[in-house]
Structure 1
Amino acid sequence: MTKLSVNINKIATLRNARGGDVPNVLEAARSIESFGAEGITVHPRPDERHIRYADARELKPILKTEFNIEGKPIQQFIDLVLEVKPAQVTLVPDAEDAITSNAGWDTIKHKEYLKEVISEFNSNGIRTSIFVDPVNEMIKGASETGTNRIELYTESFAVDYAKGDKNAAKAYAECAVLANKLGLGINAGHDLSLQNIKFFKDSVQHLDEVSIGHALISEALYMGLEKTIQQYLKLLK
């Protein structure tokens, strides 16, 4: 079964909009776990406009499932990950002012840089994953960095699927097969939703984990958090 990791950035965005501590990020994470999610994901950015670095520190001791911290490996982020020691760190090549992630790594151009960072995380017992586009050359490059997994960047799939493209997942399926042959675990995320997750899961083999935030939290506004998570789990089986 593909695991569901829930990205709680949007809950922090709502909290920060009014100041104070409502909704409470820690309580939300506990509830999400109790509803059956198998992981919690956060993506702190330097301006802390949603998840704060302090949130990551406070989440670690209370979580019972896998903790995944995403971000661009600037020194502040590296220090946080080494301090918190989550189960997994996902490296994303974000510009510091990016609204959201919008591209995968060029694993050929940045191979030496990634190797250095990944080696440090691996030596500290932290599973590593790197954000990549569904391009075979990038998958091959990723396999040479020492990473444990890749995370397929699924925005283009979501856009094409919404247009009715029956081949929307083809490149992802091919990359997943290649990644598996190269010994890499496979995660996926970005714009996955209740509308497209089953098609993606059925099309892409060897899928270890999906990380879903914006769509899931938005859907929960209509359906409730528990029901929404249960729907995802059902579709991922």
Structure 2
Amino acid sequence: MKIFIVIFLLCLPSQIMAAVLLNGNTIEYTGDITDAQNTRFKDLLDSNIERITSISITSGGGNINAGMDLAELIFKNQLDIIIPTFCFSSCANYLIPAASNKTFGTNAVIGWHGDAASARWRDADIDAMVSSLTGKEKQAKWLALRAHYDQVIEQAKERETALYKKWRVNPDIMRLGLKGNVKDAVLANKARGWTYSVDAMAFFGISNLPPSDSWQPKSTSSFPLIIVNHIQ
């Protein structure tokens, strides 16, 4: 498989305020993907079920399972997705493949940085959680937390695999930048992750994408991404 990458930068506002609002036939979802935001989304959807046709989202991602919860609502209700400016991490991983038709703003930045398996808690993270404990109590708590978080990730991986199978999309779209020359480019350029052209997204099975002359993948000075233009 040959991968063609390029790097260029634009500017992008960095702060995203959290809100879930109804605007005509669209629910506008901004900020982190969370259980609370999803509850608001579902309430609006349920109370306007005959009216809602799309979700417009601006998000840097959020909790893995919250992302999959939102994706399942989108898929079940056959909603279109509109990405005006920014969609990263869980937003790109789950909402784009789950949605029906996709519309991207001309300057929208869309990026990936790994799948559920790559979100594994580091030992250092658990060390910080038990730093106030000592002796056998600290050791027991550390081992319990390690087992708990490993189980959380295993369950998320299984759910993620099942969803991608249902969506008929290749989950490698979430993993390409974790290995090979894309990973090398990410590390060399201190990028936050990677992004794809419309053709490259289609390679993985993403359908109903916008025409390539209406949107091109982008990176920003404050949020650098490696751009994957073609995969052969």
- Normalising by structure 1, report the TM-score: 0.31
Higher relative contact order (CA closer than 8 Å, sequence separation 6+): 2
- When Rg is computed on C-alpha atoms for both structures, the one with the higher figure is 2
Q: TM-score, normalised by structure 2?
A: 0.32
